[in-house]
Amino acid sequence: MRRDSIRLSRRHKVALYSALAATFATGAVWTWLHYITARSDDLISSPGQSWMLKLHGGFAMAVLVLLGTLLPMHVKFAWNAHRNRPNGITLLTVFGILIATGYGLYYLGNERLRSWTSMIHIVIGLALPILVVVHIWRGRASR
């Protein structure tokens, strides 16, 4: 992060976009394995699903750390400059929902609630790349 601007440094972008892409890819592959190729209703019916969940959780932790690095500078500067606010609020809300539902998937015991939480997490997670691209595009347009 450059101290004098909202723009992220090249290293920061690479780290953030890589972690987001890896988290998205592992989640999408797990979803595909679970809903398209799975032969049972078990949470994990193949070793591939298990590995995708483990990798997804690890990459998600990296995303959480990187999101935390955006708050004190990128988000604060953009907020004070009144730039890309609606889109930024939407993106932060979406990340908040993904964090809450991810936590819920790990700790919820109620199967009906877990089913809803899973569907919300999957739908929003699959839409996330579009929201991130729109945020970047709108941010560049607001310069």
Residue 59 has pLDDT above 70, yes or no: yes
The tokens describing 33, both together, are: 């394995």
Average pLDDT, the chain: 90
On whether residue 68 sits in a domain, the answer given is: yes
Cβ count near 77 (within 10 Å): 17
**pLDDT tier for residue 110 given thresholds of 50, 70 and 90:** confident
CA dist., res. 77 & res. 35, Å (int): 42
Residue 4 within a domain:
no
* pLDDT computed for residue 17 by the predictor: 97
Assess whether pLDDT exceeds 80 at residue 143: no
- Determine the average pLDDT of the residues in 105-123: 91
Classified as helix, coil or strand, 80 is helix
Percentage above 70 pLDDT, the chain: 91
| Confidence category of residue 40, pLDDT binned at 50, 70, 90 | low
pLDDT of residue 29: 96
Domain of residue 28 covers 10-141
pLDDT at 106 over 80: yes
Which distant-in-sequence residues (6+ apart) come within 8 Å of 31 by Cβ?
122, 126
Using the predicted structure, report yes or no on whether residue 46 has a pLDDT greater than 80. Answer: no
> Both tokens of residue 82?
């009144």
For residue 60, the surrounding DSSP H or E stretch is helix 47-70
CB atoms within 10 A of CB 52: 22
Number of domains into which the chain is organized: 1
**Tokens 């991130």 correspond to what residue?**
132
**The pLDDT value given to residue 36:** 84
Burial of 143 (0-12, 13-18, 19+ CB in 10 A): exposed
pTM score of the predicted model = 0.89
| Structure confidence at residue 4 (pLDDT) | 57
Residue 5 within a domain:
no
